A and B are shown apart, each in its own frame.
Chain A
Amino acid sequence: MKRHLDYYLSEMRISILEQWQYPLANYFYMIGMIAEPVIYMVVWSAVANQQGGMVGGYTPATFAAYYIVWTLVRQMNIAFTPYGWERRIRNGRLSMNLLRPLHPLHHDVAFFAGWKVVNIILWLPLAFVLSLIFKPDLNPTWLEGIVFFFAIWMTYLIRTITLSLLGMVTFWTTRVSALFELYFAAELILSGRLVPLSLMPVWVQELAWFFPFRWTFGFPIEVLVGQMTTYEMLSGLGMQLAWIIFGGIVVNIVWKFAIRRFSAVGG
């Protein structure tokens, strides 16, 4: 346990130091990322205004709150992409990671966790500016704040697991890009990334319960913004935990089979 903790702390420190060297690159990355919710926000505020100030229970101010919290959740749920997995399997870099005594996933989790520290520091001024401009209606309670804190970290773990599983498909076939795109399209629609799920038809909302997507994006936002009951919040956390346990088991099983198929070509 202590060995793992040490490893995580040093990996995170390395990642923080590394990312601090590229503040401009990280800012570019973030502006590109923030453009997306700003567009959604503008579109849906326009719709709400046209409909007399409210649509699907959201006003322009609550839309602003939703999409500004969105930007933080998005920073939090960045994980090693399946495209990265594809690359490291294809070019054999993975063999280097396999030489280490720890499961390579630990490296990914720790490295990206460290990166988040940098990103959140850079995110703060952007969030401040966005709040000044869009005037969000956001009044979280203490409980919501605490649940949100745990929910965003679980968000990160679930997305790490699902993206890794997706990336591991590359062990069997290298024509994976269409599959990845399909995943991201489903995520866009079913997670609450495109619009709050309450704007979706009811059957989509019900469907979304059974996929991991909602628990990696919409749930933490709704906790902070929405009017969730305590029961809903706790059962949401429960669902997240269930996905982490279930996903963790699946990753382990898939990894065992996958690694037998791996034959590196250099690296």
Chain B
Amino acid sequence: MQGFKLAFNYLRIGILNEFQYRANLYIQILQTFIALGTGLIGLSLVFSQTKSLGGWSEPELLAVMGVFVITGGIIRSAIQPNMERLMEEIQEGTLDYALTKPADAQLLVSVREFRLWQLVDVVTGLIILVIALNQMNWSISIWSVLGFLSALFMGAVMIYSFWLIITSTAFWFIRVHEIANLFEGLYAAGRWPLDIYPNWLKYGLTFLVPVAFAISVPSEALTGRLTLQTWLGALALTTFLFILSRTIWKIGLKNYSGASA
């Protein structure tokens, strides 16, 4: 309960902070449109050559793109800023300030930053999703909505855990600016449904799994492809990743010696 209150307070401060820089909202909108434009061009290039890709039609892939944009917005508003700040503080030794506080350190480092304007992506993604579902003549069923929302939530937790794991490597390998780059490269894989990747790539690259899963499973829920097995699999993977990330974080923390900031 205490934790929720803490997270909520940080959220409020984050939002107030963002309101000081309103011009950034317009810049964010511009950037979202640029990213959207390139995404749509990529999609239209593929579909100018073919009718379906790995069994997915154009509106279905548009829905995948919607999920991709929504998830991207969640990552960049709530997950990535926290993890980047954490990396910086590990590198500079200023993490001490967070560790000396009485709250749970993992919770604290995960809620300190919030970028409100990045939610433009979430809104845009939702609009894309509605357009795509409209093109698919989608009929709302309570199960697909529940499946979608739960999968989206699990996706966010998976990506958070994944980020925390790679960020925790900063305790051992100080220079980690490249990690953000690594994540972005892998995240781009989520633009396309998992079906099109060859099996060895799908299962072999453990790196790719949480990322692609996070976007694939909600998309599958929307397009009527989600089976109970996949959903349970996602649940198991989410739980596993979450526990793993906490373990690695704890071990890493023991390794942290500070630099007397």
Contacts and interface: CB of A to CB of B under 8 A. Distances in A.
B45 to A, nearest CB: 6
Interface in B166-220: 173, 175-179, 181-186, 188-189, 191-192, 196-198, 200-201, 207-208
Contacts of A188: 38
Of B27, B41, B49, B185, most A-chain CB atoms within 10 Å: B185
Nearest to B51: A50
Given A50-B53, A178-B30, A28 B179 contact: yes
Contacts of B30: 178, 181
Q: Is the interface of A mostly helix, strand, loop or mixed?
A: helix
A194 B201 contact: no
Interface in A20-57: 22, 24-26, 28-29, 31-36, 38-39, 42-44, 46-47, 50-51, 55-56
Interface string B20-59: 0001000100110011011001100110011011100000
Contacts of B34: 178, 181-182, 185
Nearest to A194: B42
Nearest to A22: B175
A88 B179 CA distance: 22
Contacts of B23: 175
A185 B38 contact: yes
B184 A32 contact: yes
A31 B49 CA distance: 29
Nearest to B187: A35
Contacts of B192: 39, 42-43
A189 B181 contact: no
Contacts of A36: 185, 188
A190 to B, nearest CB: 11
A50 B179 CA distance: 35
A141 interface: no
A43 B181 contact: no
B178 A50 contact: no
A31 B31 contact: no
Contact of B31 (A28, A46, A56, A177): A177
Contacts of B49: 47, 51, 55-56, 199
B31 A32 contact: no
Nearest to A39: B189
Contacts of B52: 50
A175 B22 CA distance: 13
A255 B40 CA distance: 37
Nearest to A27: B178
A43 B177 CA distance: 28
Contacts of A194: 38, 41-42, 45
A178 B54 CA distance: 34
Contact of B185 (A25, A35, A51): A35
Given A178-B30, A188-B38, A46 B178 contact: no
B37 A195 contact: no
A9 interface: no
A199 B45 contact: yes
Contacts of B200: 133
A83 to B, nearest CB: 11
B186 A32 contact: yes
Contacts of B42: 194
A24 B174 CA distance: 10
Given A22-B175, A35-B186, A43-B46, A29 B181 contact: yes
A33 B179 CA distance: 11
A182 to B, nearest CB: 6
A74 B62 CA distance: 28
Contacts of A29: 178, 181-182
Given A39-B191, A39-B192, A177-B31, A32 B181 contact: yes
25 contacts: A22-B175, A24-B173, A25-B176, A26-B178, A28-B176, A28-B178, A28-B179, A28-B181, A31-B182, A31-B185, A31-B207, A32-B181, A32-B186, A35-B208, A43-B192, A47-B49, A47-B53, A50-B50, A51-B49, A51-B50, A56-B49, A178-B27, A178-B30, A181-B35, A182-B34
Interface of B: 23, 27, 30-31, 34-35, 37-38, 41-42, 45-46, 49-50, 52-54, 173, 175-179, 181-186, 188-189, 191-192, 196-198, 200-201, 207-208
In order of increasing CB-CB distance, the 10 nearest A-B pairs are A32-B185, A32-B182, A35-B185, A29-B178, A178-B30, A28-B178, A32-B181, A28-B182, A25-B175, A185-B38
